[in-house]
Each structure stands twice: as structure tokens, then as C-alpha cells.
Amino acid sequence: MLHTKLALGLLTLALAAPFAQAQSAAPEPAKSVVSSVNPEAIQALKAMGAHLQSLTRFQVSTELTGERVLSDGQKLQHAASADIDVHRPNMLRAKMVSPRAVREIFYDGKMATISIPAQKAYSTVEFTGNLGELITKLEEKYGVEIPMADMFLWGTPAAPLDKIESAMNAGQDFIDNDLCEHYAFRQGNVDWQIWITTGSKPLPRKLVITNRSDEARPQSVQYFDWNLKPTFKDSIFKFTPPKGATAVELRSLEKK
């Protein structure tokens, strides 16, 4: 059987969204200092989300550097990358690469497939919903997280903006040649920062997540590159098993 942890490995955990991490973190003890939420920062997230939801066809890639803390407090860095092709409402292809493995996810509106090329193994799940529904089903039923899943949640009721405890505008920075507004948020035991391009088409360009539940404060840093005029054909979303590949069961979390 193909277990989902084996199917996706470290990369999808490293690429998990700050909203998801914040919700799972244990709440902090009450403090006397009251954090403030800047309405401008919240509105920036809403504007970014609305723009993301308006995108029909796009490609986005990310480079991630994360930290693992050893028992003696020493930090080790790991790196991973992911590329996603999207044609809304119901087609997606994702490729995740780390030194440990390469994983691919295909969804053509009828079938979702998780492929492990090096092992010549793949699992399929029949499904016909939109991308937001697919992300929810894969995570809740199979424990599978699509990288950069928040790209499909921002701008929808599923984005828990009401859980943000502190929000601020930290000024402007350049990410490559893009001028960005820099925002910082606190949510549970997670601090996260996001850099959003200025102008009428706001896109996330950088994301930093800090885990405050660990005294070592490990961080992950992601950079995003966007192509809003892709030339791919819809045939890329359909998975064709390579010669010699074996279909294996994607086990539900409900199964013992």
C-alpha cells in the first residue's frame, strides 16, 4: 500500500500554509500586552486573495528553505521547490522536488493522481469538484497537502482572517524587480510575514514563517515566481502511467 506520508514526504509539510500551521499550534498563554490588528494589513490580504481568485490560467513556482532543530538546539537547513500549473476551475499539475524525492500531482477534473516517478508507483482518486474542494478532500480524507494550498484559499471564506491576533505594515521592499508591501502577522504560536506586489494586481512574492512554539524559532522562507500568461495545453493535466509503473492504493485516514 502507498501511504500518503511516503507519497509526499517532507516537502509538502515544509510547504504547508501559515494558516494551517497557525490553527494547529497550541494557543499561547495570555499576556498583558494587547496586540493590534492593522485594518490595512487585513485588507491587503483580502485584495491579494481576490486577485488570486480572479486568475484562470497561471503558473507559479516556489523555492523554499526551511530549518530543522536538533535536540541540542543546532539548526539544519533543508531546501525544496515546487511548480504548479493551474487552469481553473478544475485542472492542476504540481511537481515537488527535494533532495530526497520527486513527487507529482495531476488533476484533470475527473481524476486526481499522485505519482512517485523514482518508484514507478502512482495512486488515483476519482473526483469531479473544483480545486478548492480537491484540496480539502485530499487533506481531510488522505492527509495529502498540495503545495502552496493557500493560493486557493486566500480570497475565500476558508481563509481564517479572524484568527489573526496581530497585523502590521512593515514598509516596502524589493523582491527581485518587484516593489512589494511587507506585512507581518501573528497567529497562535506562528509569526508570518508576506511580501505582496504593489499596484492593482497584488501577488505574493515572499513568505516567511517562524515557529514560536520552539525556543529555537525555526523559520521557513519561500519565494514565489508567477507566469500569468502560460502557454501550456490542457493535456498536461491528464496523467499517463509510464511504462512499468504500478498502481497502488492511496489509503484513507479512516482505514485502520
d(CA 60, CA 78): 21
Residue 255 included in any domain: no
**Cα-flanking dihedrals φ and ψ of residue 146, to 5°?**
-80, 135
Residue 66 included in any domain: yes
Give me the number of domains the chain comprises. 1
The domain of 108 spans: 4-24+41-247
Residue 16 included in any domain: yes
Residue 36 included in any domain: no
d(CA 151, CA 145): 13
Q: Residue 37 region, left (φ>0) first, then alpha (ψ -120 to 50), else beta?
A: beta
Residue 34 included in any domain: no
Residue 29 included in any domain: no
What is the pTM assigned to this prediction?
Answer: 0.84
For 126-174, how does the pLDDT look when each residue is reduced to its tens digit (9 = 90+)?
A: 999 999 899 989 999 998 888 888 888 899 888 878 889 999 999 999 9
Residue 77 included in any domain: yes
For 79-117, how does the pLDDT look when each residue is reduced to its tens digit (9 = 90+)?
A: 999 999 999 999 999 999 988 889 999 999 999 999 999
Residue 115 included in any domain: yes
Show the cell assigned to 53: 481568485
pLDDT of the residue at 12: 37
Whether residue 122 contacts residue 248, with contact meaning beta carbons closer than 8 Å, is answered with yes
Question: What is the CATH number for 231?
Answer: 2.50.20.10
Percent of the chain with pLDDT over 70: 86
d(CA 70, CA 123): 34
